[in-house]
Structures are given as structure tokens and as C-alpha cells.
Homo-oligomer: A and B are copies of this chain.
Amino acid sequence: MPTGSQPVDSGSKPHADGMATAAHLLGDRWTMLIVRECFYGTRRFGDMARNLGIARKVLTTRLKDLVAMGILERRLYHTEPDWYEYILTPAGRDLYGAILALLHWADVHHPELGEHVRLHHMPCDHDTHAVVVCAHCREELDPREVEARLPR
């Protein structure tokens, strides 16, 4: 595979860089859990700290990172004192599918992690899990059926 045949650090490997970026963004346990918490509708520092059982200092750092990465937006919701809430940006919301795909993988391959929370898809009114499909034919993507090609 062409992208597999060059040093990752050459700077000419967008997917390697994309992978590294995604890994950096989602790789930290707390970062992923904070984003998940935002998907659950939590917006405020105190609620996140309590729900996640995370040290406030760590939460402060991770929230700063997520804002810098354009995944969360910080909004003032109270003045004197100034209090902020954290909202998912469109880029942050776009992480949802990837996160659900990772969750499903963990549910299937690490069932020992315990009982699962059911995800209910309201439009079709069925319990669901993430399936990753081809944008064109909507069939599930299988590594044996996908070829990576360098741009023309």
C-alpha cells in the first residue's frame, strides 16, 4: 500500500497524520469520556467533574485542549463570577459516529466490561449499534474489499 510504504514522519502521509491527529484527539481516556459526556448533554464544568469523577485540574486541561482542537466551544453563561459552559462544535458532533463505532467494538470484544447501555435510535424506534458502511453503496466496509489509492 502506498501510504504504508513511507516513514510516518515524512509529512507526506496525510492519513498517517490523520491517524495521529485522531489518536491524539481521542487517545486520551479523559478526552474521550468528556466528549461522550457532552453527547449526553452535560455542558458545565461542575457537572462534568462530578459525573466523570475527574480531578478538576485534569478536566481544566482537557477542556482547554478540546476547545483548542475545535471540538468544544466555550460559552459564558453567568457573569460575576464568570461561568462557562462547553458545547460541541459541528466538528465535535461529527465525532459521534467514530465514538459509537469504538464503543460497539469494545462492547463486542470486551463484554467482560459489564452490562451495556442500550442505544435507542428514535427515528426507527429500535435499539441499535454503529455499523460502518460505504458512503456509496451502504454495504459494511470490509478491509479485504477496500483499496487505498494515491490521488491522481
Partner pick for A140 among B20, B97, B99, B150, CB 8 A cutoff:
B97
Interface mask (A68-103 → B, CB under 8 Å = 1, otherwise 0) = 001000000000000000001001011111111111
Closest to A106 in B: B18
B119/A148 in contact, CB under 8 A: yes
Q: Which residues of B contact A117 (CB under 8 A)?
A: 2-3, 14-15, 148-151
Closest to A142 in B: B96
Given A15-B116, A19-B102, 12 further pairs, Cβ under 8 A: A7-B53, A11-B114, A12-B114, A19-B32, A22-B32, A95-B105, A97-B132, A98-B104, A117-B151, A120-B146, A120-B149, A121-B136
Most interface-central of A4, A18, A139 (chain B CB within 10 A): A18
Residues of A in contact with B (beta carbons under 8 Å apart):
1-12, 14-24, 26-29, 31-33, 36-37, 39-42, 51-54, 70, 88, 91, 93-110, 113-124, 126-143, 145-151
The distance in angstroms between the C-alpha atoms of A109 and B19, with both chains bound, is 12
Q: Which residues of B contact A16 (CB under 8 A)?
A: 33, 36
B136/A124 in contact, CB under 8 A: yes
The distance in angstroms between the C-alpha atoms of A66 and B23, with both chains bound, is 15
The distance in angstroms between the C-alpha atoms of A143 and B99, with both chains bound, is 11
A97/B15 in contact, CB under 8 A: no
Q: Which residues of B contact A128 (CB under 8 A)?
A: 134-137, 141, 146
A124/B139 in contact, CB under 8 A: yes
Q: Which residues of B contact A108 (CB under 8 A)?
A: 94
